[in-house]
Amino acid sequence: MTTEAFRGQDQEHARQPTHSYAMEEDTDVTCHTEVMNGLIISHNVKDHTNGSAQLRSLPISALKQNGLLQTLAAGGDQPKPAEENVEFEKARQEWDALENVQPALTEDSNPTLIISFNEALQYFQTTDLGDLLKNIQPTIRRTGLAAITHFLFGPPRLHRELLEERDLVFAIAQCHVDNSQPVHMRVLQTIYKRLIGSRLDCPRYGAHWENIGFQGTDPATDLRGTGFLGLMHTLYFVMDPETLPLARDIYKLSQHPTQNFPFSVMSINMTRIALQVLREEALSKECNRRQQVVGVLNEFYVATYLHLYQLWKTQQKTIADSGFVLKEVELFAKKNPKQMLRRLEVFLKERRAGGIPRGTSPDPQAQQPSPSLGERGARAGTGQGSKGKEMHFTGVCDLPPDMEGEARLI
């Protein structure tokens, strides 16, 4: 190459922006998440899940000043000096400009493939969970008069052929997150991507997990009461095409300036409630009717979260009300499991028809508890629908006896 050619290249290079902050790790696909969701928490970001609507990024650290959440996460973000904020804003603008000229992933980025619920379930079905199965408590232990009353007047027992499926669920609920298992990591990445609307992987640890409502930098620490089932339920929520819009609506409400709440922590509480209702055998009749446990439990989890969402939105609840709302949702779910499932069915049916489902009006005057959504119509092709979503798992990990039945943020 000639001297003039080399000189021309040097001059062209001198015209290129340095991007000293945002570009120093431009080969790392996680850089975008770390900058946008870890550091710049005071700026609005695009809500990729709902078109171009602006969604305020509200990590759980922003809630730590509230007394109810001080037991969930320690400390808070320290205010940044003004000059640091200027530098952060400059870096953010540079990164936005870079993202606009590089919209597609490169071959070297190798993003983690999303995983379906059934694929994750199949992993557990083919994994030896024998040690965990020894410690499960799938039903409430009753003695004396309570046992006799339950036998005579309680719900029907689960069919024998469904016991293995039920027990598998409780075993999954005792599984811990294993960083060496690709399936575990894919579940975490899928949940994050589907909620945020990102195609890029995020780091295993970091403040970005707070943006989707975990307590800290490691989601695994929030799964004490539900085990991996807490993640499996969220995975089902965001991967089922019928429930994904609802999941994103709830996530959007969780980012509200005044009605905010930790989405993932609340989701884990919905799993805990669903597990307890299953353990009390209140779902046995529906499981027997449909001849599956996993599908029923998944839908009941979604129905429970829907009920909380309706209460929270229509009654203008805030994080200060979380304890009372959780208790109300738990009591209603235990007493009315069939009605909960009916409400979900009607809600999804109305949404498919293009209407505004009842119980989700943002009217501040809607101060009454979310109304019943009516009787459940026969779903077209119910049997086929059940088989299409046929899964073989249910449940959550066992709660300490002295904590069962309590409404709380785990």
Question: Which tokens hold the place of 289?
Answer: 């009717």
Q: 170-174, 330-334, 362-366 — which is least confidently predicted?
A: 362-366
Q: Which of 33, 32, 30, 58 is nearest to 44 (CA)?
A: 58
Do β-strands 54-56 and 44-46 pair in parallel, antiparallel, or remain unpaired?
A: antiparallel
Task: Give dist(CA 272, CA 327) in Å, integer.
Answer: 12
Residue 168's CB is within 10 A of a number of other CB atoms, namely: 24
Q: Torsion angle, CA of 346/351/352/353, rounded to 10 degrees?
A: 90
Task: Give dist(CA 35, CA 44) in Å, integer.
Answer: 13
**pTM: predicted TM-score of the whole model, two decimal places:** 0.65
Question: Which tokens hold the place of 397?
Answer: 């990990």
Beta bridge partners of 54: 46
pLDDT tens, residue by residue, 69-121: 543 433 334 444 555 566 667 666 665 554 444 343 333 468 899 999 999 99
Burial 123-159 (b: 16+ CB within 10 A, else e): bbeeeebeebeeebebbeeeeeeeeeebeeebeeebe
Q: Are 211 and 37 in contact (CB under 8 A)?
A: yes
- Compute φ and ψ for 55, nearest 5 degrees: -125, 125
Q: Which of 293, 283, 289 is nearest to 378 (CA)?
A: 289
pLDDT tens, residue by residue, 242-298: 999 999 999 999 999 999 999 999 999 999 999 999 999 999 999 999 999 999 999
Q: Which of 40, 78, 33, 41 is nearest to 59 (CA)?
A: 41
